[in-house]
Amino acid sequence: MRSDDLLILKGHEVLSLLEGRELELIQSVRQAYEVHAQGHTSLPHSTFLLFPESPRNRIIALPSYLGDGFQIAGLKWIASFPGNHEVGLDRASAVMILNSAETGVPTAIFEGSIISAKRTAASAALAASWLHRGSSSPSVGIIGCGLINFEIVRFLRAVFPQLQQLLVFDTQPAKAVLFSEKCHALHPEISVSCANDIDSVLQNTSLISFATTASQPHVGELSKTGDPRTILHISLRDLTPELMLSCDNVVDDSDHVARAQTSIHLAEQLCGHRDFIRCSLGDVLLGRAETRRHDNATLIFSPFGLGILDIAVGKLVYDLALQAECGTLIDSFLPVPWLQRSERQET
């Protein structure tokens, strides 16, 4: 590619390039977390575009720069419209732009929802593999039967090859049944059962993933269990602040996750500080913090979803696309530099 060329990748091309690469994706996400923990990133707060007439809908801009081996900048522009399901569309849609860190020029535009879902799942699986104490075949609970948790099951299977049982719940039972069928088709060796309520999941599993569309906390108690329990709080707003304060809290970035009325944010407002956040996942990966507290408290991993993960995976996709000569290359996307333009070109 020349410096003024632009690579465009459609959704099916991104999906094809990433097929079967779960462990590579997890490694890319791990490296991004470590680079961030070492201070080699630029990560402004996400910007939320809200719609006064439709409070459930939003479009979010996540700009970021990732250095130290990546040397890439970019932006994910992702929409979340929960009502899309009613018209046969996915809730989330996105576009992703990569820019050269040397010149700033755009180098690629990708369909971004696939990258977003897979980096979220890779982050969850990475956290589970480091933070969850238990057997190599944990009992896994799924709360919220949508795309994100489906991808999380895929990535958990990659880090826990002996995973054999799933217990799933959704407020819409039909979605739980469909989710179970899709999981069984993907992993026939895994036994998948549907629970009647959230409490059944919390009582009978030790590794639990929340990926719902909840906007307010609705879970205030956890049943007692003899096994160490880990909650992947992907949707961020399911657990009450009082519950958060009673648990062992690990985050991706405290400044990012303690905003937008997440459960972490509500807990901070309740107690007036962030001391209840023990560490970041990056601290654990770098050996700066223990994997979990020694009092057997439930560990909650709350990832806000950092833009650096998107561009880390985006760089992997970009490199794979160049190797495979995949995508549509637009020659000379940029204009002729101003000082080199003739008067005719100007007019």
Tens digit of each residue's pLDDT (9 = 90 or more) over 266-304: 999 999 999 999 999 999 999 999 999 988 899 999 999
% of the chain surpassing 70 pLDDT: 98
pLDDT on residue 327? 97
pLDDT on residue 343? 61
pLDDT tens, position by position, 207-259: 999 999 898 999 999 987 767 899 999 999 999 999 999 999 999 999 999 99
Question: Where do the domains of the chain lie, and which CATH numbers do they carry?
Answer: 6-115+307-346 (3.30.1780.10), 132-302 (3.40.50.720)
Buried/exposed 283-300: b ≥16 CB within 10 Å, e otherwise: bbbeeeeeebeeeeebbb
Closest CA to 300 of 195, 229, 200, 199: 229
Closest CA to 133 of 291, 284, 279, 244: 291
pLDDT above 80 for 135:
no
Identify any residues that bridge with 62 across adjacent strands, giving them in sequence order: 76
